[in-house]
Amino acid sequence: MHSLPELRDQFGRRFGYLRLSITERCNFRCDYCLPNGYIGKEPLPLTLTEIRSVVRAFADCGTRKVRITGGEPGLRKDLPEIINACSSIDGIDTVALTTNGYHLERSIDQWVEAGLDQLNVSIDSLNPDRFAAITGHDRLASIQRGIDRALEVGLPVKVNAVLMKGFNDTELQSFLDWVRDSPITVRFIELMQTGDHPVFFSEHHVRGEGIKYQLHQAGWIEKPRRLEAGPAIELAHPDYLGSMGFILPYSRDFCSGCNRLRISSTGKLHLCLFGEQGYDIRSLMTEHSEEHLVQELHRLVGLKDESHYLNVGKTGATRHFAMLGG
């Protein structure tokens, strides 16, 4: 479809997946990200015109999937327009959204009508009181109703839960009970160290390998990984409608299959969630500069490191996950 070469780095990895942050703001105050809530005035986020321009440039370079992230993308009133803009670009096959679910119940139909293809919802606990303690909002029931509605209209749904010792590391059975009768994928994400929260990480990090081993022993089988998929390892069981998954950034070779790049809400290209810097390409996000933007994307991808080096304690420039949406 496109004559331009696809994005490849010096290690031969191809990048067909863009994570596009549209805001740094978030209305939750999760302990591992923004325990005091979002503080201060947000820098001017990308406009709809800039979003169209950068997504077109990525599509010209072979990107087929765009995931809209934040902060919390539902805080932008023009989110339906952003979804529609991305889904209307030639070459983009999949538009996904990652949300905390606060606006899900009232907005999911509008998002689907705009062109949403996939939904990821962050739920770190299925205990209502614990969920409220983690997030600062008693919204679990509403979020679950929103997920039910998404399933009703045929939207694939994944639920992300950050594994945390002392918070939800004893809730495996609750999540298993949920996926037994619901066609969702629950994915446990290992807590990752960021610049703002080294103490929290050291106190609450728990490895996901142990839980994965438990599931293997109970008859869960690893599913083949699709080419356009992210880094999650997903497992299936014949007695369950849904799936279980794991994102294990501290595992060996985690970065070898990297297929994603990130654009921050202020127009910086981040080659890695834990890279040392973002490259400001916002000035090229105009209709008349897209050829130069494509050239710059190819140049910058050549600078990508082989690994994130989390295993040796490097967290790069990522202060908290609201900066880039994970």
Whether residue 11 lies inside any domain: the answer is: no
* pLDDT number for residue 307: 66
How far is residue 99 CA from its own chain's centroid? 9
- Which of 64-73, 98-107, 150-159, 313-322 is predicted with the least confidence, judged by mean pLDDT? 313-322
Domain enclosing residue 295, as ranges: 17-323
DSSP letter, residue 244:
E
Place of tokens 């290690």: 11
Number of independent structural domains in the chain: 1
By C-alpha distance, which of 76, 17, 86 is closest to 45? 76
66-92 pLDDT, tens per residue? 999 999 999 999 999 999 999 999 999
Whether residue 2 lies inside any domain: the answer is: no
Whether residue 6 lies inside any domain: the answer is: no
- Alpha-carbon distance 114 to 305, whole Å? 36
- H/E stretch holding 98: strand 94-99
Tokens of 322: 């609201």
- In CATH, what number is assigned to the domain containing residue 200? 3.20.20.70
Whole-number percent of the chain with pLDDT over 90: 68
- Which of 4-18, 58-72, 154-168, 309-323 is predicted with the least confidence, judged by mean pLDDT? 309-323
Whether residue 53 lies inside any domain: the answer is: yes
Q: Are 92 and 121 in contact (CB under 8 A)?
A: no
Whether residue 137 lies inside any domain: the answer is: yes
Residue 128 has pLDDT above 90, yes or no: yes
* pLDDT number for residue 2: 46
- Alpha-carbon distance 17 to 15, whole Å? 6
Find the mean pLDDT for residues 48-55: 98
Q: What is the mean pLDDT of the chain?
A: 88
Alpha helix positions (H), the chain:
48-60, 79-87, 104-114, 128-135, 140-152, 172-181, 198-204, 209-217, 290-301
Which has more pLDDT, 208 or 201? 208
By C-alpha distance, which of 26, 31, 71, 27 is closest to 205? 31
- Alpha-carbon distance 109 to 128, whole Å? 25
Whether residue 89 lies inside any domain: the answer is: yes
